[in-house]
Amino acid sequence: MRGPLVDWYARHARDLPWRHDDCPAWGVLVSEVMLQQTPVVRVLPRWTEWMERWPGPTELADAGPGEAVRAWGRLGYPRRALRLVDAATALRDHHGGEVPQDEQTLRSLPGIGEYTAAAVAAFAFGRRAVVVDTNIRRVQARAVTGVALPAPGYTAAERRLATGLLPADAAESVRWNVSTMELGALVCTARNPSCGHCPLVDQCAWVAAGSPPDDGPPRRTQAWAGTDRQARGRIVQALRDADGPLSREQVLTAAGAAEAQAERCLGGLLEDGLAEGDDRAGYTLPQ
Partner DNA sequence: GATCCGTGGCC
Partner DNA sequence: TGGCCAAGGAT
Q: What's at 226, amino acid-wise?
A: G
141-180 footprint of DNA as x/- string (CB under 7 A): --------x---x---------------------------
Of the candidates 5, 32, 129, 266, which one interacts with DNA according to CB under 7 A? 32
Nearest to 46 by CA among 66, 83, 14, 18: 18
Residue 28's contacts (CB-CB under 8 Å, 6 or more residues apart) are 18, 99, 119, 120, 123, 124
What is the smallest separation between the CB atom of 253 and DNA, expressed in angstroms?
Answer: 16
**Left (φ > 0), alpha (ψ -120 to 50) or beta: where does 64 sit?**
left
What is the smallest separation between the CB atom of 112 and DNA, expressed in angstroms?
Answer: 6
Catalytic residue among 32, 67, 103, 158: 32
Range list of β-strands (E), 222-275:
none
Separation CA 137–CA 79 (nearest Å): 25
Nearer to DNA, 38 or 247 (CB): 38
Of the candidates 5, 8, 9, 18, which one interacts with DNA according to CB under 7 A? 18
What is the smallest separation between the CB atom of 258 and DNA, expressed in angstroms?
Answer: 15
Separation CA 52–CA 139 (nearest Å): 34
What is the smallest separation between the CB atom of 224 and DNA, expressed in angstroms?
Answer: 5
CA end-to-end span of the chain: 51
To the query of whether residue 32 is one of the catalytic residues in this protein, the response is: yes
Handedness of CA 113, 115, 120, 122 (dihedral sign): positive
Asked if residue 28 lies in contact with residue 124, where contact means CB atoms within 8 angstroms, the answer is yes
Report residue 104: phi and psi, to 5°: -55, -50
**184 makes contact with DNA (CB under 7 A):** yes
Nearer to DNA, 59 or 228 (CB): 228
Exposed e or buried b for every residue in 34-71, given b needs 16+ CB within 10 A? bbbeeeeeebeebbeebbeebebbbebbeeebbbbbeb
Nearest to 87 by CA among 39, 30, 23: 30
Size of the site for DNA (CB under 7 A): 59
216-255 footprint of DNA as x/- string (CB under 7 A): --xxxxx-x--xxxx-xxx-xx------------------
Q: What's at 128, amino acid-wise?
A: R
What is the smallest separation between the CB atom of 280 and DNA, expressed in angstroms?
Answer: 25
79-138 residues near DNA, rule: CB under 7 A:
79, 83, 110-117, 119, 133-135, 138
**66 makes contact with DNA (CB under 7 A):** no
What is the smallest separation between the CB atom of 284 and DNA, expressed in angstroms?
Answer: 16
Of the candidates 1, 6, 23, 40, which one interacts with DNA according to CB under 7 A? 40
The residues binding DNA (CB under 7 A) are 16, 18-19, 31-32, 35-40, 42, 74-79, 83, 110-117, 119, 133-135, 138, 149, 153, 181-182, 184-185, 189-192, 218-222, 224, 227-230, 232-234, 236-237, 268, 274
Give the active site residues.
32
